[in-house]
Amino acid sequence: MARPCWSCAQAPLRRSDQGHDRKGALLRLLHDVLASGLQQEHGPKDLPDQGLAGPQAPDRERPRIEAVPSVATAPKERWSTDLCRVWAGRDGWTTLALVIDCHTCELLGWHLSRSGKATTAASALEHALISQFGTLGKVTREFLLRSDNGLVFTSRRYTALVRSYGLKQEFIRPQCPQ
């Protein structure tokens, strides 16, 4: 006899009075799959081989850095950017995008927005470029722009913008805030 799965112990399967509705049939099917031990014996990583997980996203290489402390030896050599959520009173939660110079720790650009989209981060980057170089356009000397692996910074629109300005984008390792 198969062991009862964790879902049986925590939330017993409820059947409808008629027993023929779609939701009840789907719950019974899900219960049978879980109770069969498929999840317990093989684990979630084996599901794609059995065709139960659906299509998988292709693995894209992202430029990673070694887990060493980041040290910038001169200004305009390495910038860092990130987003944070800020409570704005009546306006509710807003997103603040910041760009700092890693050598001087100077705030170079920022943008406050109600949405946390790639345009928010792009506006902060453009603000920083204007404040440092006077105009928008390709920089004369390539330097690093560090960020986390968030959806905003890995989006096609943001990465294309970074490349168009002649910057080299670098992603920090997960759980490594340096």
Using alpha carbons, select from 93, 82, 92, 128 the residue that is nearest to residue 109: 128
pLDDT reported for residue 99? 95
Q: What is the dihedral of CA 46, 51, 52, 55, to 10 degrees?
A: 100
Q: What is the dihedral of CA 169, 170, 174, 175, to 10 degrees?
A: -110
One domain, residues 45 and 90: no
One domain, residues 88 and 46: no
**Is 72 among the domain residues?**
no
pLDDT reported for residue 50? 52
pLDDT reported for residue 149? 86
One domain, residues 96 and 156: yes
- For residue 87, the SS3 value is strand
**Is 38 among the domain residues?**
yes
Using alpha carbons, select from 120, 122, 104, 108 the residue that is nearest to residue 169: 122
One domain, residues 110 and 160: yes
Tell me the residue range of the domain where 43 lies: 6-50
Q: What is the CATH number of the domain that holds 102?
A: 3.30.420.10
**Is 67 among the domain residues?**
no
Q: Model pTM greater than 0.75? A: no
pLDDT tens digits for 7-39? 344 444 444 444 445 555 555 655 555 555 444
Over its length of 178 residues, how does the chain's per-residue pLDDT go in tens digits? 444 443 344 444 444 444 445 555 555 655 555 555 444 444 444 444 555 555 666 666 665 555 566 678 888 889 999 999 999 889 899 999 999 999 999 999 999 999 889 999 999 999 999 999 888 888 888 889 999 888 999 999 999 999 999 999 988 876 665 5
**Is 57 among the domain residues?**
no
One domain, residues 34 and 86: no
One domain, residues 21 and 87: no
Q: Are 143 and 37 in contact (CB under 8 A)?
A: no
One domain, residues 36 and 119: no
**Is 119 among the domain residues?**
yes
- Output the six-digit token pair for 30: 């899900």
- Which long-range CB contacts under 8 A does 47-55 form with residues at least 24 apart? none
Gyration radius of the chain over CA positions: 24
Q: How many folded domains does the chain comprise?
A: 2
d(CA 147, CA 62): 12
One domain, residues 85 and 146: yes
